[in-house]
Structure 1
Amino acid sequence: GRIAIYYGCADTVTGLCFTTVDEVLDYIKAHPMK
């Protein structure tokens, strides 16, 4: 299914994006924290 991710910038703007859990997990696996 689709998930919504809300995010903010400088306390003045709110954004909304849609993705899937699989896309989020793929991104996390491809870009690990060092």
Structure 2
Amino acid sequence: MTSAIPEPSTYGVILGVLALLAGVLRKRAAR
């Protein structure tokens, strides 16, 4: 397993998590 190039599925999960975190940060910042 080479960690150099993650699988598309893993990439999607990472992007999803980042999006969720960004949303939470925005909500906190909005307050």
TM-score by length of 1: 0.41
Greater fraction strand: 1
Greater fraction helix: 2
Higher Cα Rg: structure 1 or 2?
2
Higher relative contact order (CA 8 A, sep 6+): 1
TM-score by length of 2: 0.44
